[in-house]
Structure 1
Amino acid sequence: MSDHEQTEEEWAGDFDPFSDPDERRVLFAALDSFRQYRRTAHRNTTHRRRQAFYALPSEHWQMLSEPPFSVLNHFNAVDDAIDVNAEIADAILAVGLESFGLPATPDKDDPNQNWHDTATASDVNKAHSTIRQFYRDWSAEGQVERDVCYEPVLKDLREEFAARSAAGEEIRVLVPGAGLGRFVFDLCLAGFAAEGNEISYHQLLASSWVLNHTAGPAKHALHPFALHFSNLKSRQQQLRSVAIPDTHPGTAIHEAATSGQAIGSMSMSAADFVVLYKQPEQKASFDAVATVFFIDTAPNLIRYIEAIRHCLKPNGLWVNVGPLLWHFDDGHPGQGQAQAQAQGHGQGKEDTDAGIGEPGNVELTEEEVLALVRRMGFEVEARAGDRFCGYIQDGDSMLQNLYRPGHWIARKVEMERAA
């Protein structure tokens, strides 16, 4: 995928958001959530805190308004940081509107055009978390988290396919739950033919912007922790700024090609993973599947394993890194890392398989997951996972939420062998 390809060319699969009213509604809500980012961030972050601050006894808020506290001045600084983040949200929105041929000021009487005021509070929260996710995937500071999650998979794939890659063979790797596209890009730069798959419009819109429309390396500022007021050691910590993208995709690919480095290709499919990759035309299409912080988005993991087995070539490799934070625990979708919510993308009315939107869910332990993987036609060849990492974690925070993600390698085998 070149730096100048447009989004509608990048998003493959059974993907026409205007063909179904529900699909169109989900797209419009995602677009509107980025439009509302600035207003909702100001309202929910500083406006309500000013109200609560002035509700203090007057002698108290006056004391806290003076140095060394200067709380009101800090609220102003947070507002400035929100405006910086909102520039990214506005840029994502502009790219999305252009991609789908939608006007910035729609005709309110046209249901195919009127996307304003369609976002719910949940949609807006997803826009906020998507903006923060650029810290993990596209900043130099997020490298420490990426190294725990992406580097082991890259190492496994390089070792598995070194000889075939050296012989010039194309190695196709599928990345379900591709999010903001960083790992797909890294695989491409490493010489693989990488295909990402994503169901969330928030992630698809944001990944399109960062992969194809950013101004250059470190050209965009982001305040990833500006909206969070708890567990801070200092005010400067909350206002910390990072530059994105740490690596500009177009520039990096051009430089690699110019230097003679063997680079691969990249693409993104917009669809329900289970539905798309169980289609007959996807059978035995990929040499490897790489799931990173993904399998715990499955309400029914069996569906994921069936799709992975279907689209893998004989003897194909499945590499997994991630925790088991089941996002459908108690029937409620969580704020998932891959944000693979059951929004219906790519699910036609005639599909007999409802994908991740089907009823029912179950939470498994890691031992049970691996037993299920073996039962369903895979041989587990290696197992690790002793490294800790955060997820969009402020390393200076007084509260540290850490994962110890599992890491294992499985190979598709004949069912007789697997049994």
Structure 2
Amino acid sequence: MNQQPGKEQNPDEWEGDFDPLADPEERKVLFAALDSFRQYRRSAHLNTTHRRRQSFYALPSAHWDLLSKPPYSILDNFNQVDDAIDANAEIADAILSNGLEAFGLPANPDGGEDNPNNWHNTATGSDIGKAHSTVRQFYRDWSAEGALERDQCYKPVLNDLHELFGSQPHISVLVPGAGLGRLVFELCVAGYCAEGNEISYHQLLASNWALNHTEKANAHPLYPFALQFSNLKSRKQQLKRVMIPDVHPASTIAAQMAEPDDGRGMGTMSMSAADFLVQYASPSQRDTFDAVATVFFIDTAPNLIRYIETIRNCLRPGGYWINIGPLLWHWEDSKTSSKNDASQQSAADTDKHQGIGELGRVELTEEEVIALIHQMGFELVKKDPEGSSCGYIQDPESMLQNLYRPAHWVARKGPETC
């Protein structure tokens, strides 16, 4: 695995130009992410079982007494959920501990709000919600039980790359929105030079722990559905336990390095912590990658044209853009930017965009997305007519199934695009 400037790779190194502590706004966001993992245990107990116990005892006494006994044993269930929360919180605590060590921050800072390193009590409710969803996401990316969801989204990328490049060595692949790093890891194991990109500190902290700090496979119990009380067929379903990580990244890569070279060369893996639009639209990234793989990513764009411009910039001429995912536009319900907001941007600011936080947004249909990539210098070389349905951190036994039918296509950057 290669360490690159500005990339997360070595367990104890966050080097290069990535220094969120040097910028007040970045430090604030990082501190909130760290604090949200610290508060995972307390918030989960409070909002899951504590309030349910209060509501349970508010029932008529004859009713809660009935439901306290078998076959219901509701109070026993609350106790079991509490135990599951504590198991999940151990993962959150491990992520926090490694994050504090990586950034040289104290676990118990002194001095209150006047201390610039006091990260306690900086998380909002939204931050804490992200910590909860990040811990739960380990089910999808790092458990054996999540393999079905991964296979429906990651295997097509690997198959496409094999069809496009065969056994060519040193094929570089960028994965924007890399999340918990599983696809980056799989690409590395398959022999590609994989670079993940992620803007979320929640995801970066968690992926750093999974990739660099877990000690062995199946070391940590996770209860991904313990906090859910609706659409359950049984309490056993709610308290389902999985073990993470299903593979140990360091051991897997070490074993691969010990094998004879098949001529393709070893895969490499790195992670950039940056705004995708700012990092990869720069002249220094022009014509850098042989392929870009966007998996459940393009619908995070307020303005998809910016994403396409950035992908076009960092792809080599003739390089391939592989896309898998739905169009659940993440900014659809956000506050609309006003004319007054827009007028505050100078012409220079408009030309030099401000990354994901740029004003304006638009939601496109799949037909419009395809037309746009054609118009912006890409040739569509493959499109699955009907993608298979898949969930996203979906309990397969739930009485409610939320399924996507993600689009899957491959586009080639034309040699004359500019």
Alignment partner for residue 116 of structure 1, among 113, 116, 120?
120
**Match of 2:234?**
234
**Match of 1:94?**
97
**Match of 2:181?**
181
Q: Helix, strand or coil for the counterpart of 1:141? A: helix
Say if 2:278 and 2:354, in contact at 8 Å, map to a contact too: yes
**Match of 1:17?**
20
1:126-137 matches, cutoff 5 A: 126-137=130-141
**Match of 2:409?**
408
Query: What is the CA distance between 1:350 and its match in structure 2?
Result: 13
Say whether residues 1:162 and 2:166 are aligned partners.
yes
1:210-359 matches, cutoff 5 A: 210-260=210-260, 262-331=265-334, 352-359=352-359
**Match of 2:343?**
none
Say if 1:176 and 1:290, in contact at 8 Å, map to a contact too: yes
Q: Helix, strand or coil for the counterpart of 2:311? A: helix
Say if 1:18 and 1:112, in contact at 8 Å, map to a contact too: no
Query: What is the CA distance between 1:9 and its match in structure 2?
Result: 3.5
Say if 1:253 and 1:263, in contact at 8 Å, map to a contact too: no
CA RMSD of aligned residues (A): 2.0
Distance 1:69 1:272 in 2: 49
Distance 2:285 2:276 in 1: 11
Q: Structure 1 stretch 15-24 or stretch 188-197: which is displaced more?
A: 15-24
**Identical aligned residues as a percent:** 65
Equivalent AA in structure 1 for residue 399 of structure 2: M
Q: Helix, strand or coil for the counterpart of 2:144? A: coil
Q: Helix, strand or coil for the counterpart of 1:411? A: strand
Ranges in structure 2 where 5+ consecutive residues have no aligned partner: 337-348
Alignment partner for residue 138 of structure 1, among 139, 142, 148?
142
Distance 1:366 1:315 in 2: 23
**Match of 1:340?**
none
Query: What is the CA distance between 1:86 and its match in structure 2?
Result: 0.2
Say if 2:225 and 2:240, in contact at 8 Å, map to a contact too: yes
**Match of 2:381?**
381
**Match of 2:55?**
52
Distance 2:331 2:84 in 1: 33
**Match of 2:394?**
393
Distance 2:139 2:128 in 1: 18
* Partner deviation per Cα, 1:120-172 (whole Å, 9 max, x = no partner): 0000000000000000000000000001100001000011111423xxxx111
Equivalent AA in structure 2 for residue 90 of structure 1: D
Query: What is the CA distance between 1:98 and its match in structure 2?
Result: 0.2
Say whether residues 1:85 and 2:116 are aligned partners.
no
CA 1:181–1:311: 2 relative to 1, 3 Å = same
**Match of 1:337?**
none
**Match of 1:67?**
70
Equivalent AA in structure 2 for residue 411 of structure 1: R
Equivalent AA in structure 2 for residue 122 of structure 1: S
Query: What is the CA distance between 1:257 and its match in structure 2?
Result: 1.6
Query: What is the CA distance between 1:207 and its match in structure 2?
Result: 0.1
* Partner deviation per Cα, 1:304-362 (whole Å, 9 max, x = no partner): 000000000010000000000000003269xxxxxxxxxxxxxxx99932111011111
Alignment partner for residue 125 of structure 1, among 125, 129, 132?
129
Equivalent AA in structure 2 for residue 207 of structure 1: S
Query: What is the CA distance between 1:22 and its match in structure 2?
Result: 1.1
Equivalent AA in structure 1 for residue 327 of structure 2: L
**Match of 2:156?**
152
* Partner deviation per Cα, 1:202-238 (whole Å, 9 max, x = no partner): 0000000000001201111100000000000000100
Distance 1:95 1:17 in 2: 16
Equivalent AA in structure 2 for residue 54 of structure 1: Y
Distance 1:300 1:74 in 2: 46
Say if 2:185 and 2:249, in contact at 8 Å, map to a contact too: yes
Equivalent AA in structure 2 for residue 288 of structure 1: A
Q: Structure 1 stretch 364-373 or stretch 251-260: which is displaced more?
A: 251-260
CA 1:163–1:122: 2 relative to 1, 3 Å = same
Say if 1:11 and 1:268, in contact at 8 Å, map to a contact too: no
Distance 1:332 1:190 in 2: 42
Equivalent AA in structure 2 for residue 152 of structure 1: P
Say if 1:331 and 1:361, in contact at 8 Å, map to a contact too: no
CA 1:143–1:34: 2 relative to 1, 3 Å = same
Say if 2:217 and 2:245, in contact at 8 Å, map to a contact too: yes
**Match of 1:336?**
none
Equivalent AA in structure 2 for residue 370 of structure 1: I
Say if 1:10 and 1:268, in contact at 8 Å, map to a contact too: no
